[in-house]
Structure 1
Amino acid sequence: MSARDQLLVVIDPVARRTDGESVRIAKDVLGAGAGVRVCLPESPEEFTKALVRRGTRRPVVVGDDAALLRAVGVLHRERALASAVLSVVPVGSAASAVRLARGLGVPVGAVAAARAVLEGAPRRLDLLVDDRDGVVLGDVLIPPVGAVGAGLSGAGGSGDAGSGDAGGGERHPWLRTCQSLVRTLAVRPSRVVPGGPSRLRVEADGVTLVDLDQPVEGVSVRPGGAGFARVEVHPASVGAEVAPVRARARSVTVSGPDFRYRADAVVTGPVRSRTWHVRAQAWGLVLPR
């Protein structure tokens, strides 16, 4: 990318609280290599407004996976993913908080990630969009019944990008702090507890891979490149091991009794049916050359 680029650097409040030093380093590196406008949102509404009003500046998110997912969700709802190219400097409270960004190829460490923003190249990536307009960048996992803890909601990380009090400018500081804490907790992976086999119907491009009469121990769906998703179903075994059922598809539907699923570490449900469609090369992310 050109050093003359104009950047909109959106620094997530969770990143500022958990690792201020990494945030400072990222700002210094970016500011030395490009024209930078820094935005410090205190709420999802302010985060959304900053991205929507970015103008011609390239958006750079400094934060964890939840912040990255929120940014993609905002641009998806604005129907701006085709034209916008995102950059991210992963900053989180733990390695697990930036696992998605690392898996996408973003460097670890504020200096390396900021240099990739300045010197890297855009790469178009596939994503999944569900029938509720939620986006998934990494994968969808449906574990056995009871193996996902309760108390979490939101699909694909995009559910909180536009939520909250519309009168953000009138809220007291202590209220913003409490709401930010709630948002942080709402995207943490839940505790996994043992569960039993599920009875689900899994269809790939209209072809049934398993039906309700075949218990399954898990289902995964993830973008597989070239506009296809990779689907893997693990049938429950009694005695002899049963090989997983694998397929590639542009559309995947899972239905059956109430089930929960984890999309990019955000747990949703219970639901009775969900369909994911692959959007080929739907979004751009700046990665090292």
Structure 2
Amino acid sequence: MKRIALKIDVDTCRGTLLGVPALIDLLQRNDASGSFFFSLGPDTSGREARAFSPSRHYDFVTRLYGLFLPAPDIGARHADNMRQARDAGFEVAIHAWNRVRWESAVMTAENAWIEAEMAQAYRRYEDIFATPPHAHAAPGWRMNRHALRLTQRLGFCYASDCRGKFPFIPVIDGEIVLCPQLPTTLPTLDELLATGTPSVDQAIDRLVEESTRVGGDHVFTLRAELEGMQYSATLERLLVEWRCRGYQLVALRDLLVSRNITTLPRHTLGFAEIPGRTGSRLVQGRAFLQD
């Protein structure tokens, strides 16, 4: 059985309001499951306007949030859209409290700041869904050691905080964190477009080729603000291509069904540049204690 898990990052108010319902409809139409990872607090994405580039696909109004207008509270405004995903049978989990702030500050943040950000996201998730969160996916694949520790301490069943090749138990600076990582294994659409792929059709061809070339399960990360809006037709074509090649389109939690977590390999974590993105990202490294 070939599986591709769809990891859906929801970064902004606009993505939650418009992208999430559109993706629910698109995925149901194509008999696909997926996992929605929600930003739950203030939307300060407008502050990214100064660094706007072709790989950032926010519209003009969204870019004003947090720059000239007060940052809207995503969870307070659009909890119904989040619950709509849950009620439609999709997996829902935590992306961040403040996605922009996390991605820019986490690499050098103090432990107290990390704990406060993750606690706020945890409490807001409980308020919205009336149940504790079970999974976490860091914005921009950026974490530090203490944030990884908290994925275990907060009782998450798994996290998807890094790039890599297959599920594993993470080890950072010699410390084992007993919360499995389900890494993103495929390049994202915006990365391919930012690194010279001439068109979205050719980007789809590359994604299909890459998933077929490398066997096993895959995790593909998409965004409510991109594939859920501007490139929804592109995503639909990609899903059809994958299904025609015999892939099941699943949620991340499905990759752990019937797996004994204790038998997952232990791998180190490190940081590396990802083509199409600026700055270091968390990546799966070598097997722990490998010569």
TM-score (norm. length: structure 2): 0.25
Larger radius of gyration: 1
TM-score (norm. length: structure 1): 0.25
